[in-house]
Structure 1
Amino acid sequence: MTRTPLRPLARILKARAQGENPDVIERENLRLRHEQMRDASRTRAEVRLLILGFSFFVAFSAIGIRMGALSASEAAEPRSLASGAEILAQRADITDRNGRVLATNMLTHALYAHPKDMVDPPRVAAELAAIFPELKADDLTRRFTDGRSFIWLRKVLSPEQMQQVHDIGDPGLLFGPREMRLYPNGTLAAHILGGSSFGAEGVHSAEVIGTAGVERAMDARLRDPALVGTPLELSIDLTVQAAVEEILDAGITMMNAKGGAAIIMDVKTGEILSLASLPAFDPNNRPNPVLPKDAEPGDSPLFNRAVQGVYELGSTFKIFAAAQAMELGLVGPDTMVDANAPMQWGKHRIKEFQGKNYGPLLSVTDVMVKSSNVGTAKMALQIGGLRQQAFLKSLGFFEATPVELTEAPGARPLLPARWPEIVTITTSYGHGMSASPLHLATAYATIANGGITVKPTLMKQTGPRPGTRVMREDVADAAVSMLRQVVTRGTASMAEVPGYEVAGKTGTADKPKRTGGYYKDKVINTFASVFPASDPRYVVLVTLDEPVETSGTEPRRTAGWTSVPVAAEITRRIAPLLGIRPMVEAPPADRLTAVRN
């Protein structure tokens, strides 16, 4: 900045020449300089005040906006600033084929404590023990006073319990929001759903992971952030499942059985519309799997008899021998086979039930109707062991079922280490190898599907999936016709449901002992059926563990008296639910029909 001299020489000389006082010029210039300095200072002060005022405005606006946002949001505990992977708490719902909820999420809270922040630990311990009976006041007091800085008290709280804890009023008790898995139907479809638990946990959230059943088998799909909003649709029908479980439970009680299983399967798609295993459990409160040392695996309510239960399935296997023999061209439905009993094979003696003899000759159809062990054995010897194994393998009896349950891969069939001719014989009528009820239902669905294999699934399908043909269509039709005659004039007469053309086969197998051999008075009974026989749509299978029917003078343990009536009632109840109309025979043309206007 250019400064003006206070006593400019030219003005001073001119003022002296005119007789004026030069000091006046100096004072005037000094005054003007001071005024310029004052104006510059005022301008700088005004700019600074403007900037400061704007800064205060921005700061208080930001604080106000943040306070408004906090007041409108739900209160939450502060999160740790430590680095780490975020806990994914959300999980997709599970629904049945009609969109009805089987599993969903519910917002709840966990309870934890900061003992160092507690005002009166003994009082807090006493009041918590009064709210939660499983907590002991003395133990809580010790934990609150031993120097710990953090303690989990409860993983899940009900709203009432949360309010009671809140009323204690101690600053050392804190709540952490989290989602938990809820199964609104209780024990219904428990073995399908399996259950869930908490994985990684924090005070602000917890990871929900599947522990069994579909929840574990499809865990990655249910936890996928991209699919959290899309429910997992199962193939089961909740209404059918409820009816099946109700009837199976009543049947187990009436037949004095330890437990049982039932399966309903669509023969075209392999969809499982119902899969029941009893006794069951509540997945909302999954029990401890520990059993006494002398208990059998099936004694646990967690045991899925339909999938994990690997049993000798008895005479239900006979239809496979007949179907393979027809497929190979060795016999036809009316071919006569040697059924003269007993049959001696080396040191082994093959007998019929109760020492009967259905021989000397029976048609292949009558071998099925009368459930002849000897007739089936003779067909199996014609087939041969290698071809028998290949056929059973094509039906899925040599591998675990591919159903979407975490228990399925561990339930592999029990096969003989060697396959001599005696194994060929015993396997033909369901002894010597063991498989699950689901294996059997899948094989029967293959026969009912015209000889094309189906893959069992618990996922809803849009239509049939391509399978492999393992027998000609005419052979499959003949096999279903034989099964129909087993119901109309054979061992499964109690399975007849008017209007629904039930076709099926009974199987009664002695229960093996752990130490070897078989029980004399304990059996596994199975009835595998399809309906309607003229156009098979569904497989219905019922298995009972140690049933005994006691309405007569002597106890009866065969499947015809135990599993068959239960399966018949299931068919009677579910057929209308599945939209299948009963077939009613038209009256003869020469009969008169009364009509009222």
Structure 2
Amino acid sequence: MIRTPLRPLARILDARAKGENPDSIERENRRIRHEAMRDKARNRAEGRLLLLGLSFFLAFSVIGARMGLLASTQPMEPRAAASGAEILNQRADITDRSGRILATNLLTHSLYAHPQDMVDPLRVARELAAIFPELKEEDLAKRFTDGRRFLWIRKKLSPEQMQQVHDIGDPGLLFGPREMRLYPNGRLAAHVLGGTSFGAEGVHSAEVIGTAGIEKALDTRLRDPAAAGEPLQLSIDLTVQAAITEVLGAGMKMMNAKGATAILMEAHSGEILALASLPDFDPNDRPAPLVDRNADPGDSPLFNRAVQGVYELGSTFKIFTVAQAMELGLVNAQTIVDANAPMRWGRFLIKEFKNHNYGPLLSVTDVIVKSSNVGVARLALQIGGLRQQAFLKSLGFFDPTPVELVEAPYARPLVPAKWAEITTITTSYGHGLAASPLHLAAAYGTIANGGITVKPTLLHGNDRPQGARAMRAEVAHDSLAMLRQVVTRGTASYGDVEGYEVAGKTGTADKPNPRGGYYHDKVVNTFASIFPASDPRYVLIVTLDEPVETSGPQPRRTAGYTAVPVAAEIIRRTAPLLGLRPKVEAPPVDRITAVRN
């Protein structure tokens, strides 16, 4: 930098020559230099102040814009994360075939604690124990004071409970919003729906996952975000389900049974309109499973007798033997067969109920009407074991049912390992092979559907491929006619509901004793029915576990006195709900009386 000297020599010499004071030149130059330095410093300070003011302006502009953005947006609950994945807490509703809600979601709150923030842990423990009787004051006090920083107290709270906790007023008690599954109809269709529980959990959200029934079987569909919350529509009719459950419960008590199940299915589509199993439970408060391995699974209310109950279904199987014999051309409905009882086969003696002898000769129709063990045994021997197995397999008795319940794949029929001739005989009248009532519903659905197999389903309105043909249409027609006669003049006479042409077959099977053999005073009774017989549309299966009818002088345990009256009342109650008009049947000629005015 070039600086101007304060005492330039030329000006000094000139001043001395003129007699002036040279020091004034230095003072003048110093003043000019200081003024230049002051102006430069002022300009620099003004620039810095301008830059600082601009910085403050930009900073406050950004903050103001952010505050305005937050004020204009909707608040969102934060979601906790588990294993690095977002918790998906949305679950689709479940409805019946008419769109009525069977399962939905409800906003509730969880209760958790930060013990280090509590003012008085002992008081909090005492007041929480008063609000929630299942919590113990001593346990809460110990956990509040053992140094932990986080503690779950309740995963679900009612509004009343939440208010009571609010009233405690301790800052260490905190609430987290979450959705829970709600079943507004309580116990109704409990075994169909199953239930849910919490999966991945955070304090502000929780994952709802299926634990049983259709909730677990279709868990992926119900939780799929791509479905956009579209409800899952079941084939269940809520009104029909309620009526059947009520009648079945009353029948179970009247017949002193330990359990009962009923299935109502559309014969042509396989859609299940109602499925009830008793005893049942409330899926809103699902009980714990049995822990005793030696206990009977049927003692648990969680046990779905319609699907998991694998029983010998007794004489309900006889119609399959007759239908196969007709399908093979061995007999027709009027063919006479040997029914002389008892029948000896090797070391085995085939007897009739209470040692009756319905023979010596019966028509094939009367074999079914009178429920002759010997008659169907003769037909089964003509059919042969291999062909018998193939036919029963075509009806679905060798595989689990394809119904949309998570329990179904594990309920496989119990099929004999070796199919000897005596197995062929006993299977013909429903002993030695055990299956579920739902298997039986599908098989009777094949008869009602003109010989074409149907697959039971709990989903409404899906397009389904037509099943395979298991028997000719005329064989199915003749079989149905025989079943109708069982009701009009056979073992199921209490099942004749006027106007609805009920056709069906009774089945009384002794229960196996775990120690070997069979009980003599414990039975499983079944009535498999189809209605109306002239235009088969519905299949109804009613099964009672260990029933006994005690209105008479002697206890009666056969299906005709137990399962049949219950099924008849179900048809009487539900047929109008299904839109069936009663058909007025002309009375027999011998009941017509001429009247002269």
TM over 0.5: yes
- C-alpha spacing 1:382/1:214, structure 2 compared with 1 (3 Å): same
- C-alpha spacing 1:291/1:34, structure 2 compared with 1 (3 Å): closer
Tell me, yes or no, if the aligned pair for 2:81 and 2:87 is still in contact at 8 Å.
Answer: no
1:562 is matched with 562
Return the alpha-carbon distance in structure 2 between the equivalents of residues 260 and 294 of structure 1.
Answer: 21
Cα deviation, 1:19-73, whole Å, max 9, x if unaligned, reads 999998997898688657745754553354234223223224424543x369x73
Tell me, yes or no, if the aligned pair for 1:388 and 1:424 is still in contact at 8 Å.
Answer: yes
1:182 is matched with 182
* TM-aligned CA deviation for residue 394 of structure 1: 0.5
1:249 is matched with 249
2:450 is matched with 450
Return the alpha-carbon distance in structure 2 between the equivalents of residues 25 and 586 of structure 1.
Answer: 141
SS of 2:434's partner is: coil
Return the alpha-carbon distance in structure 1 between the equivalents of residues 5 and 47 of structure 2.
Answer: 24
1:526 is matched with 526
Cα deviation, 1:98-153, whole Å, max 9, x if unaligned, reads 11111111111111112122121111111111111111212211111112222111
Residue pairs, 1:498-513, within 5 angstroms: 498-513=498-513
Return the alpha-carbon distance in structure 2 between the equivalents of residues 581 and 402 of structure 1.
Answer: 32
Task: Show structure 1 runs of 5+ residues with no match.
Answer: 592-597
Residue pairs, 1:156-167, within 5 angstroms: 156-167=156-167
1:56 is matched with 60
- C-alpha spacing 1:407/1:80, structure 2 compared with 1 (3 Å): closer
Return the alpha-carbon distance in structure 1 between the equivalents of residues 80 and 580 of structure 2.
Answer: 59
Instruction: Report the residue type matching 1:91 in the other structure.
Output: R
Return the alpha-carbon distance in structure 1 between the equivalents of residues 450 and 172 of structure 2.
Answer: 69
- C-alpha spacing 1:438/1:196, structure 2 compared with 1 (3 Å): same
Tell me if 1:111 matches 2:111: yes
2:296 is matched with 296
Tell me if 1:371 matches 2:375: no
Instruction: Report the residue type matching 2:105 in the other structure.
Output: N
2:572 is matched with 572
- C-alpha spacing 1:155/1:247, structure 2 compared with 1 (3 Å): same
1:73 is matched with 75
Return the alpha-carbon distance in structure 2 between the equivalents of residues 83 and 181 of structure 1.
Answer: 24
- Structure 1 moving runs of 4+ over 4 Å: 2-7, 19-41, 78-83, 291-294, 585-588
1:539 is matched with 539
Tell me, yes or no, if the aligned pair for 1:6 and 1:26 is still in contact at 8 Å.
Answer: no
Return the alpha-carbon distance in structure 2 between the equivalents of residues 504 and 463 of structure 1.
Answer: 29
- C-alpha spacing 1:514/1:172, structure 2 compared with 1 (3 Å): same
Tell me, yes or no, if the aligned pair for 1:269 and 1:463 is still in contact at 8 Å.
Answer: no
* TM-aligned CA deviation for residue 375 of structure 1: 0.8
* TM-aligned CA deviation for residue 585 of structure 1: 4.4
1:344 is matched with 344
1:192 is matched with 192
Tell me, yes or no, if the aligned pair for 1:416 and 1:433 is still in contact at 8 Å.
Answer: yes
Tell me, yes or no, if the aligned pair for 1:269 and 1:465 is still in contact at 8 Å.
Answer: no
Instruction: Report the residue type matching 2:57 in the other structure.
Output: G
Instruction: Name whichever of 292-301 and 328-337 sits farther off.
Output: 292-301
Tell me, yes or no, if the aligned pair for 1:454 and 1:465 is still in contact at 8 Å.
Answer: no
Tell me, yes or no, if the aligned pair for 2:81 and 2:202 is still in contact at 8 Å.
Answer: no
SS of 1:559's partner is: coil
Return the alpha-carbon distance in structure 2 between the equivalents of residues 154 and 47 of structure 1.
Answer: 57
Residue pairs, 1:129-528, within 5 angstroms: 129-290=129-290, 295-463=295-463, 465-528=465-528
SS of 1:576's partner is: coil
Cα deviation, 1:348-368, whole Å, max 9, x if unaligned, reads 111111221111211111111
SS of 1:107's partner is: strand
Task: Show structure 2 runs of 5+ residues with no match.
Answer: 593-597
SS of 1:304's partner is: coil
Question: When the two structures are aligned, how many residues end up with a matched partner?
Answer: 584
- C-alpha spacing 1:494/1:138, structure 2 compared with 1 (3 Å): same
Return the alpha-carbon distance in structure 1 between the equivalents of residues 279 and 81 of structure 2.
Answer: 48
- C-alpha spacing 1:148/1:25, structure 2 compared with 1 (3 Å): closer
Tell me, yes or no, if the aligned pair for 2:79 and 2:87 is still in contact at 8 Å.
Answer: no
- C-alpha spacing 1:384/1:118, structure 2 compared with 1 (3 Å): same
Instruction: Report the residue type matching 2:75 in the other structure.
Output: S
- C-alpha spacing 1:194/1:81, structure 2 compared with 1 (3 Å): closer
SS of 2:63's partner is: helix
Instruction: Report the residue type matching 2:56 in the other structure.
Output: L
Return the alpha-carbon distance in structure 2 between the equivalents of residues 288 and 37 of structure 1.
Answer: 85
Cα deviation, 1:554-590, whole Å, max 9, x if unaligned, reads 21111111111111111111112112222224899xx
* TM-aligned CA deviation for residue 192 of structure 1: 0.6
Instruction: Report the residue type matching 1:531 in the other structure.
Output: F
Instruction: Report the residue type matching 2:272 in the other structure.
Output: I
* TM-aligned CA deviation for residue 507 of structure 1: 0.5
- C-alpha spacing 1:82/1:478, structure 2 compared with 1 (3 Å): closer
- C-alpha spacing 1:363/1:384, structure 2 compared with 1 (3 Å): same
Tell me, yes or no, if the aligned pair for 1:222 and 1:228 is still in contact at 8 Å.
Answer: no
SS of 2:368's partner is: helix
- C-alpha spacing 1:194/1:256, structure 2 compared with 1 (3 Å): same
Return the alpha-carbon distance in structure 2 between the equivalents of residues 80 and 564 of structure 1.
Answer: 56
2:49 is matched with 45
- C-alpha spacing 1:63/1:582, structure 2 compared with 1 (3 Å): same
Instruction: Report the residue type matching 1:548 in the other structure.
Output: V
* TM-aligned CA deviation for residue 462 of structure 1: 3.9
SS of 1:454's partner is: coil
* TM-aligned CA deviation for residue 464 of structure 1: 5.2
In the superposition, the TM-score normalised over structure 2's length comes to 0.91
Tell me, yes or no, if the aligned pair for 2:444 and 2:539 is still in contact at 8 Å.
Answer: yes
Return the alpha-carbon distance in structure 2 between the equivalents of residues 303 and 26 of structure 1.
Answer: 109
Tell me, yes or no, if the aligned pair for 1:381 and 1:424 is still in contact at 8 Å.
Answer: yes
Return the alpha-carbon distance in structure 2 between the equivalents of residues 82 and 329 of structure 1.
Answer: 65
Instruction: Report the residue type matching 1:434 in the other structure.
Output: A
Instruction: Name whichever of 574-583 and 185-194 sits farther off.
Output: 574-583
Return the alpha-carbon distance in structure 2 between the equivalents of residues 326 and 82 of structure 1.
Answer: 63
Return the alpha-carbon distance in structure 1 between the equivalents of residues 72 and 176 of structure 2.
Answer: 21
Instruction: Name whichever of 48-57 and 220-229 sits farther off.
Output: 48-57
Instruction: Report the residue type matching 1:438 in the other structure.
Output: L
Identity of aligned residues (%): 69
Return the alpha-carbon distance in structure 2 between the equivalents of residues 3 and 573 of structure 1.
Answer: 117
- C-alpha spacing 1:369/1:81, structure 2 compared with 1 (3 Å): closer
* TM-aligned CA deviation for residue 461 of structure 1: 2.4
* TM-aligned CA deviation for residue 170 of structure 1: 1.4
Return the alpha-carbon distance in structure 2 between the equivalents of residues 232 and 266 of structure 1.
Answer: 19
Return the alpha-carbon distance in structure 2 between the equivalents of residues 228 and 299 of structure 1.
Answer: 40
CA root-mean-square deviation: 3.0
Return the alpha-carbon distance in structure 2 between the equivalents of residues 161 and 327 of structure 1.
Answer: 66
Return the alpha-carbon distance in structure 1 between the equivalents of residues 460 and 145 of structure 2.
Answer: 55
* TM-aligned CA deviation for residue 385 of structure 1: 0.5
Instruction: Report the residue type matching 1:186 in the other structure.
Output: G
* TM-aligned CA deviation for residue 202 of structure 1: 1.8
Return the alpha-carbon distance in structure 1 between the equivalents of residues 72 and 133 of structure 2.
Answer: 40
Tell me, yes or no, if the aligned pair for 1:90 and 1:228 is still in contact at 8 Å.
Answer: no
SS of 2:207's partner is: strand
In the superposition, the TM-score normalised over structure 1's length comes to 0.91
Return the alpha-carbon distance in structure 2 between the equivalents of residues 155 and 547 of structure 1.
Answer: 41
SS of 1:170's partner is: coil
Instruction: Report the residue type matching 2:541 in the other structure.
Output: L
